[in-house]
Amino acid sequence: MKICFILEGSYPYVRGGVSTWVDGYIRALPDHEFVLWTITDQEGQAGKFAYDLPSNVVTVHENFLSASFNLRINKNPNLKFSAIEREAMAKMIRSGDPDWRVILNSFNLQSNKPVEFFLSEEFLKILKEYTRDDYPFAGFKDIFWTIRSMFLPLLYLIGQPMPEADLYHSPSTGYAGVLAALASMKYNKPFVLTEHGIYTREREEEILRSDWVKSYFKDLWISMFFMFARLAYTRAHRVTSLYRRASLVQQELGCPEEKCDVVGNGLHLDSFISIPDKPKDGWIDIAIIARFAPIKDLKTLIYTFSRLKQEIDNVRLHIIGGIDDEEYHQECLDLIKYLNVKDIIIPGTVKTTTYLEKIDFTILTSISEGQPFAVLESMAAKRPVVTTDVGSCRDLIEGDVGDNFGHAGICVPPMHQSKLFQALLEMCQNEEKRKLMGEAGQNRVKKYFDINNMISSYLNVYERAISIWQASDSS
């Protein structure tokens, strides 16, 4: 079977999270071919992969959002749209529920048409009506550029060639979910949606905190991502999440309950279970496996570690990972210097299985997560974890109903320095407790998070998706 992965801002350009999952997933299915249909920001990223691609990846179709703003414009474009097309695009701009098949037929394989559309009389008529009805006090120029910024990248992506496959699999809603849904329509093939986090909620939080979107236009951006999610949930034949609470959120956002499956992450356990205990060397070593990005909240960790060093001198912090946000990275370095905190080690991207050999326990301070591989990997290596209570982290640490392994670490509220400090202090001062927690975590991962179980579950999801697609196709 040829499976097309639609990937937004992740594999194969950056490591960690969804990228880790995709790479392991493809390698675990060597008898299937994979097409990568990627979406990332800048054209300068072309071919700059952070992974050596598995041999069963047969094609990579790269798309760059920045290219949508560099399109050439034909002189005097005189676009005309039918009443049906005009209605579909008006609903899309209002983030309603347009006829996506009409939009697909109008824009697919017409790469210059999107930029010309935003200069057409048809678009200006639609926008004037929208402004009059919903934003009578907003400047027309402001709403023009806002709507253009929102929808030009989308229409540009729709205008690119869509790879053909036997099944489409998207690890998120957003742009990737829209493309998967439209390719499923175009070629009449099944579509499976997997959400590692709830993309719509993450974008909502990001936009609400942002200063690049004017306050009175934030609802526009948020509504657009909700529209994308509705399309993906409606078109997908099966929808998976990593844990039950995430599935319930999907249903709150409009995904039919009967489409939903819960499939947890899985690890190649052997390489982690074989990691030896750390040799005694007089130091307590803590690691966070995280990219430099605001969502990882490394600043709270740095402040807290500075306080911890005042209580325990022989403790070191290792920040392991790449740089997502250069500005945030520099802010973290400046904070370390300002606090004059010693024994923070930043090795960059390293081989996790090797580096964990020198670590006593790990930490995760994210303000949003799904089911983080960093926590699973640490548990598999018999290293306990201090983690924020986000995503499925509490379930991973404390276990679910019927799980009697015991706690594998400590959960604390996000961005709470005092409770994080108490958790770190407790872990540092209790070697025997760390040992028992490490054993509990490893036993839990061995039972519930083996990659072979995950792959078996996804193959069952594929079978159900194909069965539903065949039934709907014949009716």
Q: Model confidence over 276-325: pLDDT tens digits?
A: 999 999 999 999 999 999 999 999 999 999 999 999 999 999 999 989 88
In a domain, 191, yes or no: yes
The pLDDT of residue 243 is: 92
The pLDDT of residue 15 is: 86
**Phi/psi at 412 (5° precision):** -135, 160
Task: Evaluate if residue 475 carries a pLDDT over 60.
Answer: no
> Sorting pLDDT into bands at 50, 70 and 90, what band is 120?
confident
Structure tokens of 264?
């947890």
Domain boundary among 148, 174, 192: 148
Q: Which residue has the higher pLDDT, 379 or 66?
A: 379
Task: Evaluate if residue 112 carries a pLDDT over 80.
Answer: no
| Residue type at position 252 | E
> Sorting pLDDT into bands at 50, 70 and 90, what band is 75?
low
> Sorting pLDDT into bands at 50, 70 and 90, what band is 205?
confident
The H or E element that residue 259 is part of is none
Separation between Cα atoms, residue 342 and residue 163, nearest integer Å: 51
Separation between Cα atoms, residue 117 and residue 81, nearest integer Å: 10
The pLDDT of residue 474 is: 57
Same domain, 30 and 112: no
Same domain, 238 and 297: no
Across 71-80, 108-117, 302-311, the highest mean pLDDT is recorded for 302-311
Q: Which residue has the higher pLDDT, 64 or 71?
A: 64
Same domain, 195 and 249: yes
Same domain, 242 and 213: yes
The pLDDT of residue 251 is: 96
| Per-residue pLDDT tens digits for 8-53 | 999 999 888 899 899 999 999 999 999 999 999 888 888 899 999 9
> Sorting pLDDT into bands at 50, 70 and 90, what band is 76?
low
Same domain, 278 and 405: yes
CA pseudo-torsion sign 190, 195, 201, 202: negative
Which structural domain range is residue 323 located in?
Answer: 270-449
The pLDDT of residue 77 is: 63
In a domain, 185, yes or no: yes
Separation between Cα atoms, residue 269 and residue 453, nearest integer Å: 12
In a domain, 44, yes or no: yes
Separation between Cα atoms, residue 28 and residue 24, nearest integer Å: 6
Same domain, 167 and 311: no
Same domain, 143 and 188: no
Same domain, 258 and 276: no
Same domain, 254 and 279: no
Q: Where are the alpha helices (DSSP H) in 97-240?
A: 100-107, 113-117, 121-134, 140-158, 174-187, 199-209, 218-235
The pLDDT of residue 150 is: 94
Same domain, 245 and 99: no
Find the mean pLDDT for residues 444-457.
94
Burial (CB count <10 Å: 0-12, 13-18, 19+), residue 389: middle
Q: What strand order describes the sheet that includes 409-412?
A: 344-348, 315-320, 284-289, 361-364, 385-388, 409-412
In a domain, 75, yes or no: no
Task: Evaluate if residue 252 carries a pLDDT over 60.
Answer: yes
In a domain, 246, yes or no: yes
Average pLDDT over the chain reads 93
Q: Structurally, how many domains does the chain consist of?
A: 3
The pLDDT of residue 349 is: 85
In a domain, 457, yes or no: no
In a domain, 238, yes or no: yes
Beta carbons of 322 and 291 less than 8 angstroms apart: yes
Beta carbons of 332 and 298 less than 8 angstroms apart: yes
The pLDDT of residue 113 is: 85
Find the mean pLDDT for residues 210-220.
89
